[in-house]
Structure 1
Amino acid sequence: MLPATTDVLIVGAGPVGLATATALAQAGVAVTVTDRAPGAAHTSRAAVVHARTLEVLDRIGAAAPLVDAGIPAPRFTIRDRDRVLVPVTFDTLPTPYPYALMVPQSTTEAVLGDRLTAAGGTVLRGYEATGLDGRTVTFATGERVTARYVVAADGMHSTLRHLAGIGFGTSGAGGSATTGGESFTLADVQVHGGPPRDEVVLYFSRAGLLVWAPLPDGTVRIVAAVGDAPEQPGAAYIQFLLDGRGPVRERARVDDVVWGSRFRVHHRVADTFRAGPVLLAGDAGHVHSPAGGQGMNLGLRDALALAGALTETLGSGSETPLDRYAAERRPAAREVVRFASRLTRLATVPAPLRPLRNGALSALSLLPAFRESLAFRLSSLERPAHR
């Protein structure tokens, strides 16, 4: 049963909603979390948590259990088949987490759910938001909740964003608001051969990009941009993608597909992250290509920033922190979307331009400053001022 009133109502119990709720509950804010799904998800798209995100999650006690559950990947490479174009290492970064942590989104959600429970919070599941009147949200059950503030953490197809009248146009980074978006296939596979299991690889190829990301259970997450992704990719299909885009000398041989799916993404950023009492976080505010593994990470940083702003506003009565949140997070989203879009365009340059692209990237990769800059960019850390 839903409460009639609450300080903060969060719609959406994915990682962004859970992280926001946990930080608020730990600060003593009365928070209500709803989700339309009857149970927690056991499959997921995101598979990496970067250094800056771990630093932020440490504030709510979520970093240590995530590190325990994941595997560190201290190396990221961009390749054209067997040729390494850009090698990036994280192990010299000024952070307690000098790596990309490979961990399924379902595990991230489980850890955040445990932290929320420890803070005295819970998720009310099976409640679909259908209406919005100012500060009052109506659910499909007919119940209504009036909150001082409402957080839309309900994903790319956010109902609350739509009800609040917030536009979700193109990012200016090459995406389209009117097309069907980029199509991707995703699969967790049992595979032998291929790149080392402590390395994330972004393959550039004539056919499109392919991401190789090792997971803690021994499987490998494969994500590939394809024209028309099958609803449930099989082993033969993933093998076809790896043979056409992945390594040649160390051929990766697929034994089984544990789980697979498809999805489409646009490159979009919401017109604003705040409309009165409604605030956006995560995919409700920004979506883009999975190249670089930035999506969930950006959303989790939204979550902690928003929780801090809400806590400050509720304590002081001033809404300046919420305005600051909206003003700061939208440019951050636009920058990440541009970065992901550039990686996607680089991956899919026309065949005649591939030698030029490869030569340019290989030359740049000889520069320590270029490799370091990319490491900071991927991990979302700020470079020291003296550099």
Structure 2
Amino acid sequence: MLPTQTDVLVVGAGPTGLAVAVTLAGHGTTATVVDRLAEPPVTSRAAVVHAGTLDVLDRIGVAEPLAGRGLHSARFSVRDRDRLLLTVPFDRLPSRHRYALLISQAETEAVLADRLTALGGRVLRPYELTGLDVDGAGATARFAGGETVRARWVVGADGMHSRVRELAGIGFGGPADPGESFLLADVRVDSALPRDQVNLFLSPRGPLVWAPLPDGTVRLVATVADAPREPQARHFQALLDERGPVRRPDRVTGLAWASRFRIHHRIASSYRSGPVLLAGDAAHVHSPAGGQGMNLGLRDAVALGDALAAGPEALDRYATDRRPLAEEVLGFAAGLTRLAAAPPALRPVRDLLLRTVSALPPARRRLAVRLAGFEPPTATTPSRRVEGRAATAG
């Protein structure tokens, strides 16, 4: 049952919303978390938690439980069929989490939900937001069943099609095109590729991400011109045949689940409108290349939870600080996608550039830090050096 009043109302119980609530609970504030779904989803798009994000999650007691459930990936590789163009090792990262953690988003959500429960919080379901009346002292949220909740602050963590963002009148800018079309699946596959690394295959038709998961399946994500409504194993076999290894080709032996989705490159015009704040996909969406989306959302969430606990001035800094970081990530993800689909005339130059980066340790380390999601310190986030000391001490 919904309370009639709350200090913080978090709309959306995905990774971002849960992380906001866990962060607030650590500061002694109980948020009301609602979600329109009756049960948490068992399938998900995100499959990696990067080291920079794990360092941030360490501060809210979530990194180690996550690390215990996931597969520790030692490196990230970029390939053009059988040619290895670039290897980015994570063993020199400025962190004690010197790996990319491969784990289903559903597992990430489960760990966050367990942590929230341990701190005395919970998720209320199913409650669908239908209205939001904002005034100088807060907002009144209205729900489909007729219930209302009065809140001092409302957090929109309800995804790309955010109802909170829409009701608050916050713009969501981006190209007018229909967006990139993706296929995604967890498959069982016979493969000679190493099971301790993520592979990004470059192809004229777009990128193919190959990421092993702890249960023995492999997460495949690929851009396609026209995604079928109900993807089958044969569609992913065709993608592997078209973009994957040639000398020792992969063979799909089973399909755990599959879906299609479409992604625009968009960012909210503001992360704050009075008592309404945005985080995660409600604030920014982009290509999954590089696995940056959920990671940026989780870092948004901890920064926002800290800012809510600190007060209104910190919330202004949150909105000011986080949006430029999202712009940079959107540019990085778009660049990876363009790199994958370089026209034939430019592919030799692209491949030479990648092989050169791979041969230069300083350049390789910089790319590793960038992929791992380490952010420059801002007024609302501790520096990486301070976080590293805290993590080591813990």
TM range (shorter): over 0.9
Secondary structure at 1:111 match in 2: helix
Identify the residue that residue 370 of structure 2 maps to in structure 1.
Answer: 377
| Contact 1:210/1:224 (<8 A) preserved | yes
| Contact 2:207/2:337 (<8 A) preserved | yes
Which blocks of at least 5 consecutive residues in structure 2 are unaligned?
377-383, 386-394
Taking the TM superposition and a 5 Å limit, the aligned residue runs for 1:216-365 are: 216-313=214-311, 319-365=312-358
| Contact 1:376/1:382 (<8 A) preserved | no
Cα distance per residue 1:44-64 (max 9 Å; x no partner):
000000001111111111111
| Contact 2:21/2:30 (<8 A) preserved | no
| Contact 2:92/2:98 (<8 A) preserved | yes
| Contact 2:11/2:158 (<8 A) preserved | yes
Secondary structure at 1:349 match in 2: coil
Identify the residue that residue 41 of structure 2 maps to in structure 1.
Answer: 41
Taking the TM superposition and a 5 Å limit, the aligned residue runs for 1:142-181 are: 142-170=146-174, 176=175, 178-181=176-179
Identify the residue that residue 137 of structure 1 maps to in structure 2.
Answer: 141
| Contact 2:46/2:105 (<8 A) preserved | yes
Amino acid at match of 1:108: T
Identify the residue that residue 29 of structure 2 maps to in structure 1.
Answer: 29
Q: What is the root-mean-square deviation of aligned Cα atoms in Å?
A: 1.2
In the alignment, the residues of structure 1 paired with residue 344 and residue 192 of structure 2 have an alpha-carbon distance, to the nearest angstrom, of 24
Cα distance per residue 1:180-235 (max 9 Å; x no partner):
10000001000011410001011101121000000000000000000111233211
Tell me which stretches of 4 or more aligned residues in structure 1 moved more than 4 Å.
382-385
Secondary structure at 2:194 match in 1: coil
Secondary structure at 2:59 match in 1: helix
In the alignment, the residues of structure 2 paired with residue 27 and residue 283 of structure 1 have an alpha-carbon distance, to the nearest angstrom, of 24
| Contact 1:185/1:223 (<8 A) preserved | yes
Secondary structure at 1:132 match in 2: strand
Identify the residue that residue 184 of structure 1 maps to in structure 2.
Answer: 182
More moved, 336-345 vs 224-233: 224-233
In the alignment, the residues of structure 2 paired with residue 180 and residue 35 of structure 1 have an alpha-carbon distance, to the nearest angstrom, of 27
In the alignment, the residues of structure 2 paired with residue 146 and residue 231 of structure 1 have an alpha-carbon distance, to the nearest angstrom, of 40
Identify the residue that residue 110 of structure 1 maps to in structure 2.
Answer: 110
In the alignment, the residues of structure 1 paired with residue 191 and residue 274 of structure 2 have an alpha-carbon distance, to the nearest angstrom, of 53
Which blocks of at least 5 consecutive residues in structure 1 are unaligned?
171-175, 314-318
Identity across the alignment (%): 61
Identify the residue that residue 90 of structure 1 maps to in structure 2.
Answer: 90
In the alignment, the residues of structure 1 paired with residue 364 and residue 7 of structure 2 have an alpha-carbon distance, to the nearest angstrom, of 45
CA shift for structure 1 position 382 = 5.3
In the alignment, the residues of structure 1 paired with residue 271 and residue 90 of structure 2 have an alpha-carbon distance, to the nearest angstrom, of 32
Secondary structure at 2:353 match in 1: helix
Amino acid at match of 1:112: L
Secondary structure at 1:60 match in 2: coil
The TM-score, its normalising length taken from structure 1, stands at 0.95
CA shift for structure 1 position 381 = 2.3
In the alignment, the residues of structure 1 paired with residue 254 and residue 357 of structure 2 have an alpha-carbon distance, to the nearest angstrom, of 38
Identify the residue that residue 316 of structure 1 maps to in structure 2.
Answer: none
Identify the residue that residue 75 of structure 2 maps to in structure 1.
Answer: 75
